[in-house]
């Protein structure tokens, strides 16, 4: 891995994203893939995925189960599935390793392989080059982007979901564990779109509401022509500013697009919003990146 240059850091501040090819080795990528295979092999399907849909009331319980499962996943390793892969009894219609959409949100804290990658010396060095003084890791996810069914991710800004005061304190590290191409759903960005603040926020709904989270504000209609694709090879790292607008398309190809991604917050002089879906817990305060 070549050291990141001041010119590249300048480019990151200008565009709101930066691709660093070959940041991780093929061996590091393969070790993450092997580790996730063993996690999936031992996975139990969560109960809320198993309830048969019958009455309205059960549907609401189902939705509540899903939302609780999501809301309390910040300090656990949990499983989220693509649409249409489970029948109404919660049995898999396709092999389970092909049905899963993502695993989150605390792999960085509880899994030795992902913890080592997240806190690797080269990630810490990059943090220091970017001027991060007290970076903490707030969440991580393994994203599968399954062949043929890996759903699109509509244009968004990460700070919509991970809000801080002031803004500009959230940074995504996005690691390609396989080549990410236009065919299998690479990321697309609007260069320079990280300078206008955010247009909407996802907040925890008041207790007793029918959904667990709600959106305040709205996502503007973005012009497709503004987006630039950013394919990257296996082992590449993409840095993502918390306010840059990005998306990915449906994976219509025959190959998956596995990714490990985690978000870091500069904790110095920063307030984490109490309204964010994700909250640190006594069991898992946000760990320092530099340990």
Question: For 91-101, how does the pLDDT look when each residue is reduced to its tens digit (9 = 90+)?
Answer: 889 998 899 99
139 pairs with which residues across the strands?
A: 263
End-to-end Cα spacing for the chain: 21
Which helix (H) or strand (E) element contains residue 13? helix 6-15
- Quote the pLDDT of residue 215: 92
What pLDDT is recorded for position 164?
98
Q: Taking the alpha carbons of 77, 133, 11, 24 in that order, is the dihedral positive or negative? A: negative
* CB of 124 closer than 8 Å to CB of 290: yes
Which segments in the chain show pLDDT lower than 70?
1-2, 51-55
Helix (H) or strand (E) holding 215: strand 213-217
3-state secondary structure at position 29 = helix
Task: Give the pLDDT score at 161.
Answer: 96
Domain ranges (residues) in the chain: 6-272
Which residue, 266, 240, 259, is CA-closest to 104?
259
Peptide bond into 91 cis (omega under 30): no
Q: What is the pLDDT of residue 101?
A: 94
- pTM across the whole model: 0.95
Question: DSSP strand E in 71-112: where?
Answer: 77-81, 100-105
pLDDT at position 51 is 67
| Pairing between β-strand 164-165 and β-strand 228-230 as defined by DSSP bridges | unpaired
Q: Could you give the C-alpha distances from 278 to 81, 102, 115, 202, 257, in angstroms and in order?
A: 19, 16, 19, 10, 25
Q: Give, in order, the Cα–Cα distances in Å from 224 to each of 29, 149, 186, 188, 236.
A: 31, 22, 15, 10, 25
Strand partners, 271: 165
Query: HSE (CB half, 13 Å, CA atoms) of 12?
Result: 24
Considering the four listed CATH numbers 1.10.10.10, 3.40.630.30, 3.40.1370.10, 2.60.120.620, the one that applies to the domain covering 6-272 is 2.60.120.620
């Amino acid at each position: 891995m070549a050291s990141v240059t001041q010119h590249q850091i300048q480019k990151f501040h200008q565009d709101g994203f930066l691709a660093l090819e070959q940041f991780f080795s093929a061996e590091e990528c393969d070790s993450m893939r092997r580790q996730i295979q063993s996690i999936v092999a031992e996975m139990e399907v969560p109960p809320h995925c198993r309830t048969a849909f019958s009455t309205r009331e059960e549907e609401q319980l189902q939705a509540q189960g899903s939302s609780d499962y999501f809301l309390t996943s910040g300090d656990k390793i949990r499983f989220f599935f693509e649409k249409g892969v489970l029948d109404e009894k919660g049995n898999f219609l396709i092999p389970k390793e092909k049905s899963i959409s993502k695993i989150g949100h605390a792999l960085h804290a509880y899994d030795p392989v992902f913890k080592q990658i997240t806190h690797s010396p080269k990630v810490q060095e990059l943090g220091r080059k970017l001027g991060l003084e007290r970076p903490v890791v707030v969440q991580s996810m393994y994203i599968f982007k399954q062949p043929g069914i890996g759903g699109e991710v509509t244009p968004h800004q990460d700070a919509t979901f991970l809000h801080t005061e002031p803004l500009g304190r959230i940074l995504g590290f996005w690691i390609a564990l396989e080549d990410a191409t236009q065919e299998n759903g690479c990321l697309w960005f609007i260069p320079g779109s990280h300078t206008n603040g955010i247009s909407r926020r996802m907040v925890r709904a008041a207790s007793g509401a029918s959904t667990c989270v709600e959106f305040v504000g709205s996502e503007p209609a973005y012009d497709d022509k503004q987006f630039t694709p950013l394919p990257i090879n296996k082992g590449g790292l993409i840095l993502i500013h918390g306010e840059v607008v990005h998306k990915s398309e449906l994976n219509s190809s025959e190959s998956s697009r596995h990714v490990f991604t985690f978000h870091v917050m500069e904790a110095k002089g920063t307030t984490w919003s109490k309204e964010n879906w994700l909250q640190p817990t006594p069991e898992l305060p946000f760990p320092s990146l530099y340990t």
